[in-house]
Structure 1
Amino acid sequence: MHYSKLRISVDATSKLRSLRQRTGITPNLLCRMAIMTSLEEGPLGGASIPDENGSEFNAYTLTGEYGALFAALLRWVEESASPEVPLNDDELLDRLRGHIHRGVGTLSVRAKSPADILRIIPIAA
């Protein structure tokens, strides 16, 4: 999965702004948590792909040195239902945006303070 910049939805951008105010955590770190939270919920299935009218992230800012890990986890979750049909880069980027959108929505409900973020992260981490 190759990309240099990724735009997220307006809704996710708004929720990230609110989450940053409540938790003090930067949007790129919140997006990483959102991706992992959404991947835990499983594949997006037939969910519609969110718009691309919100914030824009550089690839390295979004995933850091873990870009390959995020790509592998995304591919593993999304292709597990039909491994014989691999997703192309554009489809994977759409799914990544979808997972950010879904995960940010979940975090915006669960995280009302910095302490709530600690409850979301497993103890073993």
Structure 2
Amino acid sequence: MQFRLKTSKETMEILKQLQSSTNLTPNILARFAIALSLLSKEPIESFESDTNGLEFNRNTLTGEYDFVYKALIAQHLGRPVADDEYFPFLIKKHLDRGAKWLENEYKYAGNYEKFIKGLANFELEMIR
């Protein structure tokens, strides 16, 4: 069982840039990125990225809600997920894919307040 994952270099750069713009820590931004990725109906299995970025500890990233993240990922896949597949493999894929969307959301919003409000309403707009 692994307890650490490394993001892609691109994700690292995105999270650092967003941290300087929003004052949100990378682990909070990473959770937003995972959530955005889970909203997509696109399959995650084919998403590929490198491992040259930030290192996250499992407990720092998912904490007491680790079982919730695992259940959401299993629901997204439509099948049970083994622990070694869930972390770091699938969490990393969702984090790296979602980071790109998170960056786009910030660019579109233009500032922190609009960014946070946009994230709060993101799911509603995707459903409509």
Q: 2:33 — aligned with what?
A: 34
Q: Counterparts of 2:56 and 2:84 in 1: how far apart (Å)?
A: 16
Q: 1:103 to 1:45 in 2, by over 3 A?
A: closer
Sequence identity, in percent? 32
**Which of 70, 83, 92 pairs up with 1:97?**
92
Question: When the two structures are aligned, how many residues end up with a matched partner?
Answer: 117
Q: Higher relative contact order by CA 8 Å / sep ≥ 6: 1 or 2?
A: 1
What are the Cα deviations for residues 31-85 of structure 1, in whole angstroms up to 9, with x where unaligned? 101101100013534523211121101111111211111111011102x1xx3xx
Within-5 A mapping of 1:1-125: 2-78=1-77, 80=78, 83=79, 86-92=80-86, 93-111=88-106, 112-115=110-113, 116-122=115-121
Computed over aligned residues only, the root mean square deviation of the Cα atoms, in angstroms, reads: 2.0
Q: Counterparts of 1:45 and 1:63 in 2: how far apart (Å)?
A: 19
- Structure 1 outlier segments of 4+, above 4 Å: none
Q: Counterparts of 2:42 and 2:63 in 1: how far apart (Å)?
A: 23
Q: Counterparts of 1:45 and 1:119 in 2: how far apart (Å)?
A: 24
Q: 2:125 — aligned with what?
A: none
Q: Secondary structure at the match of 2:56?
A: strand
Hey, which of these two has a bigger chunk of helix by percent? 2
Q: Secondary structure at the match of 1:121?
A: helix
Check conservation: 1:49, 1:95, Cα contact below 8 A: no
TM-score by length of 1: 0.82
Q: 2:126 — aligned with what?
A: none
Check conservation: 1:49, 1:97, Cα contact below 8 A: no
